[in-house]
Amino acid sequence: MNIELVKQLVEGYGPSGFEDHMRDIIRPFIEDYADEISVDTMGNLIARKEGDGSGLKVMVAAHMDEIGVMVTHITEKGFLRFTNIGGVFPVTLAGNRVQFADGTMGVVYSEKRESRTEVHGLDKHYIDVGATGRDDCPVSVGDAAGFYRSFRAQDDFLVAKSMDDRIGCVVAIEALQRLESTPHDVYFVFSVQEEVGTRGAEAAANGLEPDVGIAIDVTTTGDTPEAATMAVELRAGPAIKVRDAGMIAHTGLVRLMRRRAEEAGIPYQLEVLEGGSTDARSIQIAGPGAAAGVISIPTRYVHTVSETVDSGDVENSIKLLVEVLSKPIEL
């Protein structure tokens, strides 16, 4: 796995709806390996790998966007009120930093609290960019910011602010690079606006009408103190999704993924996620429908600035995706 690729992607700017910068980062890593590259009206970056004509049309989706915030109002003294872009939780905000598209940095904090243990809602938070008033504020209403935190690799322990889902993009990119041949026409879709409703994948799937759809995304774990009960943990391999709150994975595709993993000696887990969903939901029900599933990367602390994965799980996710795509898909 290319750690420099991971660093570039997870540190990049790209809240939902503002993924242009991420497209520019990803494109050089895929253009020498794809037979065709395009960008659709929604902004999805699509790389087609041509098959030998004996297989299916397969869509692989990994979303480029990340959670963030958008400015709704600027006070007379230059502080920014904001709303969320995707799943931003107030408990994660105080003292964190955000970065706007032009590089402007801001510190997030909240109004006075009655006690140190109280957590205000988003409406009681603000962003401080160092302005003294509206007139010298470097950002405007409607500007979007992503959270800012540098990437850290500590042996196999990888921590960043946007593993969701830049690490899925890494898996897709490296699978494309390693996929020497395939019977299938494979469309690697680096999708937009997943965090606000899997919108980019829906548009792409409606246009492509794939036979099979595979989303590459993160999933939570049950291996930390007092965590919600869940049979997924770090360092135990990729998780093959069975169900989440938005979809039931195609049973034939689940069986195929398990078989390919076992044949290749790749460790894996089975995932049942009680909250949240992925691009696979939109692929499954777009157009005439598709056999859809998910390869999930186990991730601790999802939707914080310290999302954490294991490099071995990432590497095995790449291997599993290549195994699935390089051989017949029989459902």
User: What sign for the dihedral angle of Cα 300, 304, 309, 314?
Assistant: positive
Active-site position among 19, 66, 194, 233: 194
Burial class (CB in 10 A: 0-12, 13-18, 19+), 197: middle
142/17 Cα distance (integer angstroms): 12
Q: Which residues contact 321 (CB under 8 A, 6 or more apart)?
A: 60, 171, 172, 175, 214, 216, 295
Question: Which tokens go with 155?
Answer: 């042996």
Mark whether 330 is an active-site residue: no
CB neighbourhood size of 105 (10 A)? 15
What's the longest Cα–Cα distance across the chain? 66
In the chain, where does DSSP find H-type helix?
Answer: 3-10, 20-30, 163-178, 199-208, 251-264, 279-285, 311-326
313/331 Cα distance (integer angstroms): 25
Which of the residues are catalytic? 194
